[in-house]
Amino acid sequence: MHEQIEQVQEVISKLRPFLLRDGGDVELVDVEDGIVRLRLMGACGNCPSSTITLKAGIERALMAEVPGITEIEQVF
């Protein structure tokens, strides 16, 4: 479990520069039973495209690179 959290944080750290460039950021809230809970912050928090960013970008990267991840949830 702890290793999975580290892997998720590693993937997020690779994606963070792209979010920061657009005035946003992402925070890892929790990883439990294959579900990653993330909080989008800054410009990402209220951006109309945030769901697309979350699902198409972050979710795809996490599911491809971290074994056992099945879903990404946005926490507000």
The larger pLDDT score, comparing residue 43 to residue 1, is at 43
Q: Which CATH class is domain 2-74?
A: alpha beta
- Interval 56-66: pLDDT, tens: 889 999 999 99
Q: How many CA atoms lie within 13 Å of 30's alpha carbon, on the beta-carbon side?
A: 8
Mean pLDDT of 32-44: 91
Q: pTM for this one?
A: 0.88
Strands (E), the chain: 24-32, 35-42, 71-74
